[in-house]
Amino acid sequence: MTHDEVCQRATQSVQTLSLSVNPRFYPLVHFAPPAGWINDPNGLIYFNQQYHLFYQHYPHSSYRGPMHWGHAVSDDLIHWQHLPIALAPGQQDDVHGVYSGSAVDNHGELTLFYTGHTVVDSNASQVVIRQVQMLATSRDGATFEKHGVIIEPPAHIEHFRDPKVWRDADSWKMVIGVSEHQTGQVWLYTSTDLRHWQFDQVLLKAKPDQGWMWECPDFFPLGDKWILVVSPMGMQSKQFAYNNKFQVGYFVGTFNNNQFIVEQDFTELDHGLDLYAPQTYSGSGDQRIMLSWFSMPETPIPEQPDHWSTCLTFPRIITLNEQNQLIQTPLPAIKQLRQTPQKLSGIVLNDERFCLPLTSDCCELSIEIDITKSDAERYGLMLTFDPQTDKGVKLYIDKQSQRLYLDRSSTAFGPHGHRSIALPDTPTLLLHLIIDKSTCEIFVNHGQATLSARIYADYTANHIALYAENGQAYFNQFCGWPLQSAWIKPFPYM
């Protein structure tokens, strides 16, 4: 079979599977596959007047299998149209998976870089793998021709993946995630023609406690600084930080003469439970827009029996503030989806719950809380709240520890757990939330911190409540918008 035929078959397979998708947890305003498994976003590029999104995909089932690249396009990053599968495994060098990578526009030729993954020995005490960087191109932006291997690793390197390519002043550059001597690192390569690549240098290496492998590097300028985003495997948790299975974080520095000089060490990108393998768009003008896998490796996924698996985070605009902190805010185009707002102000609660006039199936919320005046032991919001059982996902301020908690321990379906951040040192706290069926994204104080988590409640538990325990809480302003579905047809289509 030709590569086109393999892609066509895979596309048919996912179309058939989509007929049996159960939509109970399926998001309405987040990108998700028509059916089957997805993980990382790949090849994010604005090309021929459209945003292209590729993604790690197993089209034949909602459980992980040999990776393909799924493909979708959008005019606004909100309304997506699914396209046929772009890349499928099959060649000798990518027979066990077309792994993550990126895209560039080479004078009108859409050029994809990905990792070809093969399992060399599955019987060894530790499975032996081979990973190489590969190239594929397209003129029409829909069907792709593979051109084989462009970079092989040195003989002693096994984990060598996720090429991210960009155009520099007079050459092309690529960063690759590598594990060498059990140390995560990012290697830099250079090319003049996208086909022949020279190793340049190690861009950055993990310190001893920063992981044995760095996956999915992304490297880009913001103002006069450069940001390196990586997804480390094997970092030790430290108190409130690095508590997920794998981590995501960024370094800030300068990049001159191919040297990345770090000014700000590894900083967690998101403080929730389910965000991994982010990638930013290239070619979208001055704005940096980021999408991430909205899940965490090796974590239970309750929608898998429903014939689809996981989604991506809502597109975020990222900027850098003067303290070298990444600021993340949801794409303003979300406003298109807002329906009639519900507004309240001056809500004072004294050891009680208060149900808001909105349900949490799919909505956006903005709440201002007066921290200085509030003296309750705990106060905040309950999402997916069920007044019968008094249970819900809690987003609350803990007065004693001065922390903001997200706690999903009482949801009907796993995974459970909680995360927290130090309460910002501001008199009021502004919480901006996007809740979409089984997803919840929280933007704190205009995006200075974010917490993202999948939440799986019983369908009857869709109220949103404010609450205060042992004392008073002052909620200055509340505004909530039900969001309309971004899917153009009632359910995903091809």
**Residues designated catalytic:** 40
How near is the Cβ of 276 to ligand FRU at its closest, in Å?
A: 6
Choosing from 11, 56, 133, 384, the residue that interacts with ligand FRU (CB under 6 A) is 56
Query: Is the peptide bond prior to 415 cis by the omega test (within 30 degrees of 0)?
Result: yes
Is position 452 an interface residue for ligand FRU (rule: CB under 6 A)? no
Min dist CB 218 to ligand FRU, Å, is 12
Which residue from 68, 96, 161, 164 is in contact with ligand FRU, where contact means CB under 6 A? 161
For ligand FRU, which residue of 115, 179, 280, 384 counts as binding (CB under 6 A)? Answer: 115
> Can residue 174 be called a binding residue for ligand FRU (CB under 6 A)?
no
**What residues between 276 and 335 interact with ligand FRU by CB under 6 A?**
276-277, 297
Q: What is the Cα–Cα distance from 24 to 36, expressed in whole angstroms? A: 15
- The residue (of 19 and 128) whose beta carbon lies closer to ligand FRU is 128
Considering only 158, 215, 436, 441, the residue that binds ligand FRU (CB under 6 A) is: 215
Nearest distance, CB of residue 118 and ligand FRU, angstroms: 13
Q: Does 186 bind ligand FRU (CB under 6 A)?
A: no
Decide if residue 7 touches ligand FRU (CB under 6 A): no
What is the distance of C-alpha 430 from the center of its chain? 23
Radius of gyration (Cα) for the chain, nearest Å?
A: 22
Q: Is 175 in the site for ligand FRU (CB under 6 A)?
A: no
Q: Footprint of ligand FRU on residues 66-95 (CB under 6 A)?
A: 67
Q: Is 358 in the site for ligand FRU (CB under 6 A)?
A: no
Least distance to ligand FRU, CB of residue 449, Å:
23
> Contacts with ligand FRU: how many residues (CB under 6 A)?
14
218 binds ligand FRU (CB under 6 A): no
Angle at 314 between CA 17 and CA 431, to 5 degrees: 135
List 14, 40, 78, 447, residue binding ligand FRU (CB under 6 A): 40
Judged by CB under 6 A, the residue of 93, 158, 162, 180 near ligand FRU is 162
Residue 164 or 432 with smaller CB distance to ligand FRU: 164
The only residue of 55, 99, 242, 260 in contact with ligand FRU, by rule CB under 6 A: 99
Of residues 31 and 385, the one with the C-beta less far from ligand FRU: 31
Nearer to ligand FRU, 266 or 478 (CB): 266
Q: Which is nearer to ligand FRU, 295 or 360 (CB)?
A: 295
Residue 263 CB, shortest distance to ligand FRU, in Å, is: 26
User: In the complex, what is the shortest distance from the CB of residue 245 to ligand FRU, in angstroms, rounded to a whole number?
Assistant: 11
Pick 99 or 251: Cβ nearer ligand FRU: 99
Instruction: Give every strand in the sheet of 36-47, ordered side by side.
Output: 80-87, 68-74, 50-58, 36-47, 308-309
User: Least distance (Å) from ligand FRU to the CB of residue 297?
Assistant: 6
Please state the closest distance from residue 405 (CB atom) to ligand FRU, in A. Answer: 27
Quick one: three-class SS letters along the chain?
CCHHHHHHHHHHHHHHHHCCCCHHHCCCCCCCCCCEEEEEEEEEEEECCEEEEEEEEECCCCCCCCEEEEEEEECCCCCEEEEEEEECCCCHHHCCEEEEEEEEEECCEEEEEEEEEEEEECCCCCCEEEEEEEEEEECCCCCCEEEEEEECCCCCCCCEEEEEEEECCCCEEEEEEEEECCEEEEEEEEECCCCCCEEEEEEEECCCCCCCEEEEEEEEEECCEEEEEEEEECCCCECCECCCCCCCEEEEEEEECCEEEEEEEEEECCCCCCCEEEEECECCCCCEEEEEECCCCCCCCCCHHHCEECCECCCEEEEECCCCCEEEEECHHHHHHECCCEEEEEEEEECCEEEEEEECCEEEEEEEEECCCCCCCEEEEEEEEECCCCEEEEEEEECCCCEEEEECCCCCCCCCCEEEEECCCCCEEEEEEEEECCEEEEEECCCCEEEEEECCCCCCCCEEEEEEECCEEEEEEEEEEEECCCCCCCCCCC
What gap in Å lies between CA 21 and CA 354, rounded to an integer?
35
* Of residues 28 and 129, the one with the C-beta less far from ligand FRU: 129
Q: Which of 103, 216, 433, 468 binds ligand FRU (CB under 6 A)?
A: 216
Q: Which of 100, 102, 411, 439 binds ligand FRU (CB under 6 A)?
A: 100
Q: Which of 395, 371, 413, 409 is nearest to 451 (CA)?
A: 395
Least CB distance to ligand FRU at residue 162 (A) = 5
Residue 233 or 381: the one with the smaller Cβ distance to ligand FRU is 233
Q: Any contact of residue 247 with ligand FRU (CB under 6 A)?
A: no
Nearer to ligand FRU, 55 or 226 (CB): 55
The contact set with ligand FRU (CB under 6 A) reads 39-40, 56, 67, 99-100, 115, 161-162, 215-216, 276-277, 297
